[in-house]
Amino acid sequence: MKKQISVLLVEDQQAEAIVVTRLLSHSAYGNFSVTVAVALADAIEQLGKNSFDACLLDLGLPDGHGIESLRQVRSVDGCIPIVVLTGNDDENNGLTAIETGAQDYLAKDFVNSRTVSRALLFAIARQNTMLGHAADAQTDMLTGLPNRRLLSRDFDRMSNQFDLLSVALLDIDNFKTINDLHGHLIGDRVLQHVASLVRDNAGNNIQAARFGGEEFTLLIPDSGIDATVDYASDLLSKIENATLEIDGKSISVTASIGLTSVRNEEGLDESLRRADQALYSAKHTGRNRVCVNDA
């Protein structure tokens, strides 16, 4: 049985909504399930409550303003594939919709089971390809963690979302020695090992990223500095106690962490600079410890 494809149809004209729903329900091209929203406000509410595979969006909504309706839907769900329905075969309007974030457009005069099904399926495929390329560009290939590019975006989002935000900079201790003794392939395994521990202990709101080399960054929201120190200390203990076994060799790994609290209107670079100062202190006072810079 084909996977069900959930579609949000945003259409204020009941007769047209019924026609499109029937076309998709009896489509030979996919197993479609349709939810109808009769207004833009209804669509936004549905997107907030439910997950959809694609959206069919009429630009002539009573509470919408043409292309602005598309922008509003895209602002609520930045990833959903969107096919715009237009009242006529207006190439300029369709191109504007695509430039604004739609994957395709379809004139209502040309809607039939085949055209609407294929438009939705192709829109989903295009969006998945685009998201795949975007994920590759923002993911560290060795560890699978977000890279510095995505870290910057997460910092901007979280600094606006949370009243309290801390930045932790974690560096594997004596990593050059590990590479020199065991080789770079083992060094890569150590990076993957630590990345896995960082990821597994990040929780729901903490964002982890590979910063570069043997350094990792964590954005820790909604915790005072004392609670953040406790979290960081616990993470270091787990790294220390998780001995890595490779080809009969036992490799012990420790790390150090520098912590700082993000100040009002402070950017990522300044926060990282102060976290790096704290990390320097941790490295020069014995390693395998947490140091804080809130000066």
Distance (Å) of CA 100 to CA 73, 74, 95, 166, 292: 11, 9, 9, 35, 44
Residues annotated as part of the active site: 214
Contact 256, 279 (CB under 8 A): yes
Partners of 86 in the beta sheet? 107
Tell me the C-alpha distance between 277 and 169, whole Å: 10
User: Which residues make Cβ contacts (< 8 Å) with residue 61, sequence separation at least 6?
Assistant: 10, 12, 39, 40, 69
Please name the residues in contact with 208: beta carbons below 8 A apart, sequence gap of 6 or more: 145, 146, 195, 198, 199, 202, 216, 217, 218, 219
Report CA 84 to chain centroid distance, whole Å. 25
